[in-house]
Amino acid sequence: MQQPIQKKITFAFLLLALMDITGILIESERLHYLAKPLLIPALLLLLYFTKSGVKGKLLLMTGLFFSWAGDLFLLFESSRKLFFIFGLVCFLVTHIFYITYFLKIRSGNISLLKKYPILVVVVVAYGVSLVWFLYPHLGDLKFPVMVYAAVICSMLLCSLFIFLKVNRKAAIYFLLGAASFVLSDSLLAINKFYQPFAYAGVLIMLTYCAAQYFIVRGYIEQEP
């Protein structure tokens, strides 16, 4: 059960997410620029005030810090082309920290991937198909996008790997977070490299906010 301070911070995060998405929807740059930089700091505070015997909090907090840096770079990518690359690198580092956190979870329980190896095939097939679809449109970013796709799919696989190694509630949150991250980045890539589509910004931020919150919530619900 969340403590009162956690509930207040969660409410603040949800309010900021609603403000940001509303800003995108009504094309209010002021609202978007105000809310987006505060989203990840709210989750950092939520983790900071979570008292838990579960190890690895610093890994998740460091991953969130790089996400915050990535958010700032992408917020201003229109003014500097390199900012998109910097943002991509920051989120790449985020996923590496999340992967490290997942792999540090120790349990004698069997891995879900070992139980259902077809899941590996499904995730890899999805990653390869997305890159294959986008490849002709990636220009000079072919290699960076391929590396990023490999890393984020690895993060999703890691969330599946530990699914049976943590309690059910935490496992569901971790998996939802990883899957939402893959979906968010897929939508962003399709919108940026293939073809812009209606409500892309809203859908990308909605899935991104869900991804970060679910991963943090997974840690909160994880039992030592």
Lowest mean pLDDT among 46-55, 167-176, 201-210: 46-55
φ/ψ region of 199 (left if φ > 0, alpha if ψ in -120 to 50, else beta) reads left
pLDDT for 80: 81
User: Average pLDDT, stretch 120-146?
Assistant: 96
| pTM of the predicted structure, to 2 decimals | 0.95
Per-residue model confidence as pLDDT tens digits over 135-162: 999 999 999 999 999 999 999 999 999 9
pLDDT at residue number 81: 80
> Looking at residue 160, what is its pLDDT?
98
Mean pLDDT of 126-132: 97
How confident is the model at residue 1, as a pLDDT? 52
131 in Cβ contact with 145 (< 8 Å): yes
pLDDT at 2: 64
pLDDT grade, residue 22 (50/70/90)?
very high
Report residue 103 as tokens.
């792999």
* SS3 label, residue 54: coil
Over range 66-78, report the average pLDDT.
94
| Percent of the chain whose pLDDT exceeds 90 | 91
Burial of 86 (0-12, 13-18, 19+ CB in 10 A): middle
pLDDT at 223: 86
Give 72's pLDDT tier (boundaries 50, 70, 90).
Answer: very high
Q: How confident is the model at residue 189 (pLDDT cuts 50, 70, 90)?
A: very high
Kindly write down the DSSP assignment for every residue of 82-131, as one continuous string. HHHHHHHHHHHHHHHHHHHHHHT---SSPPHHHH-THHHHHHHHHHHHHH
Distance, in Å, from the CA atom of 9 to the CA atom of 13, rounded to the nearest integer, reads: 6
How distant, in Å, are the alpha carbons of 54, 71, 76, 82, 117 from that of 224?
Answer: 5, 31, 40, 42, 27
